[in-house]
Structure 1
């Protein structure tokens, strides 16, 4: 390190295994500015690293920060470019800006951490975009969760606890999601609980004859849209829709991640009508095939709607209880696992 002092301020350069760049400390403003060429996190590999709660307490005592990192990495994984601006408040700290741009996406966040009892309260608001969500999840240690996938998400969340350790039962907020051109993989409910709910990976276990070919290898989607409301850890899906090459799916209901419970209504509409039209033209009568194809275009896939199924999913996230519903009234016979 090469540092020089002037009237209580310090500035200079530092080069270490964990970071390298220019530093500027303003004593009067109690502010640290840094322009780093690289930053490798975590800074310490000690077994006595502070937990997230103690990090929150330490953050309350931090000076104002204005940091730019050209090459950020976490546990040897390159993450891209980072800009961070935050300042202390009387009862916590305020995040004025966190802007991240990496190989698979970018995010912009604002927020705060406030003392409130032992763990404090965290609130974040922002937007996240990814052109390869599957690659990003793999970079953070969750491979084979999603293949490909573009995602745009925006909203606000608040919870008790530190930034990295939220208390699930205290989560509140709203999220808006739009994803394109992806495919769900087999998801461990303990890793991505909400993704496990949306992916409908539990359906092929119970309904081998209905949609085994659609969901068994992971549902592929062209578009996924929906809004999620969170209240005290309960995620409510407001008419979430997925359209894919094999079927259209809509979900509504709620999932309580903290208590490991869910109650969902799922409608699956397979894409059958175009094949029926072609079969009619080839095997039965060309006029019948043309009529079926015309009905498909005018009535928006009537044959697919005719063969649609409704399900009610309840119970735990890992071992749900799935019941097929009769679309014409009443309940269909319960399926055996």
Structure 2
């Protein structure tokens, strides 16, 4: 098993079955779950709390047949959710609950067609391609990140987030809005704020030699966050998972990442 050794403890209740403990452990992945399965053969429902840890999300996904989605990524996740049917009927599209996730020190590489369908919560395939067009070499070989943190609410066949934060050496990205897990579509706002060092890679070459490079660093230090904001961009992602439409909505000073995007007004 890809999940290694497992330990399972349960007992029957008047309403169905209580799972006291489901533990799986391998050298790289740990999963702990507890909860209840209630109802009868005609209609039942599962409600569980799950805690998940992987020391390398990329390797774990590779082992499950989803190669190339992530490289590295120490991951912790906490889910409190319910769904119709038995525990084995777990399905994101039928889930009601909340996921909290934190990933450290990884990379979203250039990925092959189809991989993005696994991570429909945001387009890991098309978004980097669009960012490469707008920001050049910063995203050309994928996107390294220090952290990914966020909370996702699952309800009525959709997943909502009010701010999935991706922070990296080259840029910070915030993803907000809805993913249709049943409809397999997007309605999201993405704000990208590149860091100054990544937005002015040729400052030294333009100014000429080491002196120009030093001047460029001085400019970056003096202007700091102002330059970051001037290079920012806000996008809307709509359309289907297979053919997402990414539209540049605003750039530079027009971008106000602190504002909650309108697509979140119906978050449950």
Query: Which band: TM-score by shorter chain?
Result: 0.7 to 0.9
**What is the match of residue 111 of structure 1?**
35
1:320 corresponds to 2:247: no
Q: CA deviation at 1:107?
A: 1.8
TM (norm. structure 2) is: 0.80
| 1:8-54, Cα deviation, whole Å (9 max, x unpaired) | xxxxxxxxxxxxxxxxxxxxxxxxxxxxxxxxxxxxxxxxxxxxxxx
Question: Could you list the per-position Cα deviations for residues 135-170 of structure 1 after superposition, in whole angstroms to 9, with x for gaps in the alignment?
Answer: 222222322222111011113011113323345543
Describe the SS at the equivalent of 1:136: helix
- Match runs of 1:59-98 below 5 Å: 73=1, 77=2, 79-98=3-22
Distance 1:198 1:87, change over 3 A: farther
Runs of 5+ unmatched residues, structure 1: 1-72, 331-337
What's the offset of the Cα at 1:235?
A: 0.8
| Aligned mates of 1:295, 1:124 — CA distance in 2 | 49
Unmatched segments (≥5 aa) in structure 2: 256-268
Whose RCO is larger (CA < 8 A, sep 6+)?
A: 2
Q: Quick one: which of 228, 232, 236 aligns to 2:156?
A: 232
Answer yes or no: is 1:147 the counterpart of 2:71.
yes
2:132/2:139 contact within 8 Å kept: no
Identify if the C-alpha distance between structure 1 residues 214 and 294 changes in structure 2 by more than 3 Å, giving closer, same or farther.
Answer: closer
Offset at residue 171 of structure 1 (A): 1.3
CA RMSD in angstroms, aligned pairs only: 2.8
Distance 1:251 1:167 in 2: 22
TM-score by length of 1: 0.65
Residues 243-284 of structure 1 deviation map (CA, whole Å, 9 limit, x = unaligned)? 112211111111111111211111112223477497369455
- Residues 16 and 40 in structure 2, CA contact (< 8 A), matched pair in contact too: no
Q: 1:302 to 1:329 in 2, by over 3 A?
A: closer
Aligned residues: 247
Q: Quick one: distance in 1 between partners of 2:153 and 2:14?
A: 31
The answer to whether structure 1 residue 253 and structure 2 residue 180 are counterparts is no
Residues 1:117 and 1:213: Cα distance change in structure 2 (over 3 Å): farther
Does the 8 Å CA contact 2:138/2:198 hold for their aligned counterparts? no
User: Distance in 1 between the 2:139 and 2:219 partners?
Assistant: 31
Q: Counterpart of 2:263?
A: none
Report the counterpart of residue 85 of structure 2 in structure 1: 161
2:48 aligned partner: 124
Whether the 8 Å CA contact 1:168–1:258 is kept in 2: the answer is no
Residue 307 of structure 1 deviates from its aligned partner by 0.8
- Corresponding residue to 1:191 among 112, 118, 127: 118
Aligned 8 A contact 2:97 2:155 in 1? yes
Q: 1:153 to 1:285 in 2, by over 3 A?
A: closer
In structure 2, the CA distance between the partners of 1:276 and 1:86, relative to structure 1 (3 Å rule), is: same
Preserved contact between residue 77 and residue 99 of structure 2 (Cα < 8 Å): yes
For the 8 Å contact 1:273–1:303, the answer to whether it is kept is no
1:292 aligns with 2:220: yes
Q: Deviations over 1:202-232 (max 9, x none)?
A: 1244465314544454322111111111112
